[in-house]
Structure 1
């Protein structure tokens, strides 16, 4: 089944709020070899003006993953995950993610393109905090390889 071009323009319901935990931030920071003390030490983060440890920028994918799961589970999407290659990832921040944030994410599919038998699905996830203020937008390009002959 090819990727459904009618995904373009679709917006999915907001995810359940995700509470950013201090230990999750620390674990992620260690996993990506982040060495800035604000990523690991609450006192260093507070000295830098934050309420708690600051997540490395790519931590946003943890929140985005929930929206991508919605997209991949969509019955009419036509996306076979075994054929997906992650083509691109971008982030636009209004502010850093900090432990204690309660984040909600909403996915929109701005484009679905077909190129040489493959499809490229652009997934844009807007992440907001408990007050509704924008925190980060993540944009992923998912390349769905076409069927082999």
Structure 2
């Protein structure tokens, strides 16, 4: 099965809101070896002007994961997950993610390209806060290996 190029431009419905927890931020920071006190100490984060601990930048993938699951589960997309390799990841921030944020994410397939028998699917997840303000856009490129 090949990736359906007609999914380019498709937008999926928003996923349920994600409430960013302080302990989740701390756990993620430990996992990625982010040692800044801003990620671990609420007092240090408040002294720096934040409401609570600040998530490392790559924490956005935690929120993005639910949107990518929608794409991968869509039979019309034609994506065989067993053939997927993560090709690229980028972020464009409006502001940092902070514990206490309630974030909503929406995915749009921005590009589908064929290259050497493989498909490159680029998906942009836009993450907004409870007021609808932009927090981050997480851009992933998935490489779907072609049939052998």
Same fold (TM over 0.5): yes
Q: Counterparts in 2 of 1:103-114, with a 5 A limit?
A: 103-114=103-114
Aligned partner of 2:66 in structure 1 is 66
Aligned partner of 1:138 in structure 2 is 138
Deviation at 1:19, TM superposition (A): 0.1
Aligned partner of 1:10 in structure 2 is 10
TM-score (norm 2): 0.99
Alignment coverage as a number of residue pairs: 148
Partners of 2:12 and 2:144 lie apart in 1 by 20
Aligned partner of 1:80 in structure 2 is 80
Alignment RMSD (CA, Å): 0.4
Q: Matched residue of 2:75: which SS?
A: coil
- After superposition, give the CA deviation of every residue in 1:24-72 in whole Å (9 maximum; x if it has no partner): 0000000000010000000100010000000000000000000000000
TM-score (norm 1): 0.99
- After superposition, give the CA deviation of every residue in 1:56-105 in whole Å (9 maximum; x if it has no partner): 00000000000000000101111011100000000000100000000000
- Give unmatched runs, 5+ long, in structure 2: none
Aligned partner of 2:96 in structure 1 is 96
Q: Matched residue of 1:30: which SS?
A: helix
Partners of 2:131 and 2:146 lie apart in 1 by 42
Partners of 2:81 and 2:40 lie apart in 1 by 34
